[in-house]
């Protein structure tokens, strides 16, 4: 056993901002608040999409899956992060680190693909409105979501297995808040060209290719919007597509900056704050962006609340 912190020599030490305890107290409070908002916001979207018959459409089917991904992603990281920030020990077991690392990769990769699927759904709705129900039939929607989940799983298995094979030469300290790929690669005591090539290749597959498809979809959507004469329909298209595009910008912007840049070009503190952003803030903002800009969701929430009040009175 390690007499300094009482943890096993196979455990990892997550340093975070341990050299700035006052900053850590502020961060822990903000992380807790954002996590609660993430739980409430994403759970609300899932329940509303399920309970309101008017939201039984492909768009809200995909949105429910996105909310579920965000819930799982945040839950795989935040509770352990808060335990380390609030408790005396900053360690995480080897098994816990592997699980956290794997699920973060799996869910993050699946979200990359799902956001591209959602862009195609918006393209079909705006550019092919008369054939939308035929194109986006339930079986196709389910297959697309399943592909996103399985694609994330395959990518995570490849990266996780290669990263964990890197020799650490006894290194246990990670200068971050949770077990993430850049920190684990930096902890290795050897340089792996194969690892660098695989990371770049999968970065292209899960980040650049989906983002390119999203931009192409929105290129067609922009052309279609320019031809819309109805102001009401024009605003509705902008609201639904604008919400998705905002989420895409936040998610892909930080992920590409974090994973596609050379690892040595990002400072330690910059990397930590970026990790906090796409781990904590993005899953919190997603439901807020969709609900604040979407009249259908707000109307559905009101209808469900009215039914609940009526049932309680009767």
Spatial distance between the Cα atoms of 63 and 42, rounded to a whole number of angstroms:
9
48: nearest Cα among 219, 287, 271? 287
Q: Quick one: average pLDDT of 223-241?
A: 72
CATH number at residue 104: 1.20.1070.10
Q: Which of the listed ranges 25-34, 132-141, 229-238, 289-298 does the model predict with the highest average pLDDT?
A: 132-141
291 and 49 Cβ atoms separated by less than 8 Å: no
For residue 2, being part of any structural domain is answered with: no
In a domain, 251, yes or no: yes
CA atoms of 253 and 121, how far apart (whole Å): 21
Residue 221 resides in a domain: yes
Let me know if 242 is exposed, middle or buried by CB neighbors in 10 A (0-12, 13-18, 19+).
Answer: middle
Secondary structure of residue 88 in the 3-state scheme: coil
Is residue 88 one of the residues assigned to a domain?
A: yes
Q: What is the pLDDT of residue 266?
A: 54
In a domain, 291, yes or no: yes
Please report whether residue 7 resides in a domain: no
Average pLDDT over residues 168-177: 80
310 pLDDT band (50/70/90 cuts)?
low
Q: What angle do CA 251, 265, 271 make, to 5 degrees?
A: 45
Picking from 51, 94, 268, 41, the residue whose alpha carbon sits closest to that of residue 175 is 268
- In the predicted structure, residue 264 carries a pLDDT above the cut 70: no
Can you spell out the DSSP letters for 7-27?
Answer: --TTSEEE-TTTT-HHHHHHH
In a domain, 308, yes or no: no
How many domains would you assign to the chain? Answer: 1
Domain range holding 91?
12-300
């Amino acid at each position: 056993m390690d007499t300094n912190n009482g943890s096993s020599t196979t455990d990892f030490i997550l340093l975070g901002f341990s050299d700035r305890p006052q900053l850590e107290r502020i961060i822990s409070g903000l992380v807790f608040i954002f996590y609660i908002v993430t739980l409430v916001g994403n759970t609300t979207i899932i329940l509303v999409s399920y309970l309101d018959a008017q939201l039984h459409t492909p768009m809200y089917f995909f949105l429910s899956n996105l909310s579920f991904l965000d819930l799982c992603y945040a839950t795989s990281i935040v509770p352990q992060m808060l335990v380390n920030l609030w408790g005396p020990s900053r360690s995480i077991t080897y098994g816990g680190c592997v699980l956290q690392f794997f699920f973060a990769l799996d869910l993050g990769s699946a979200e990359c693909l799902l956001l591209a699927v959602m862009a195609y759904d918006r393209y079909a709705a705006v550019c092919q409105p008369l054939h939308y129900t035929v194109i986006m039939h339930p079986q196709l929607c389910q297959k697309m979501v399943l592909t996103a989940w399985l694609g994330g799983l395959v990518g995570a298995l490849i990266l996780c297995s290669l990263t964990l094979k890197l020799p650490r030469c006894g290194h246990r300290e990670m200068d971050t808040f949770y077990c993430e790929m850049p920190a684990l690669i930096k902890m290795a005591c050897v340089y792996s060209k194969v690892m660098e090539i695989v990371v770049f290749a999968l970065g292209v597959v899960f980040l650049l290719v989906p983002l390119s498809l999203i931009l192409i979809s929105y290129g067609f959507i922009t052309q279609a919007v320019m031809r819309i004469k109805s102001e009401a329909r024009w605003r509705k298209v902008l609201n639904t597509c604008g919400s998705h595009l905002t989420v895409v910008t936040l998610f892909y912007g930080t992920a590409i900056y974090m994973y596609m840049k050379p690892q040595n070009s990002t400072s330690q503190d910059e990397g930590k704050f970026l990790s906090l952003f796409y781990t904590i803030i993005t899953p919190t903002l997603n439901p807020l962006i969709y609900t604040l800009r979407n009249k259908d969701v707000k109307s559905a929430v009101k209808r469900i609340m009215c039914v609940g009040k009526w049932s309680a009175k009767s």
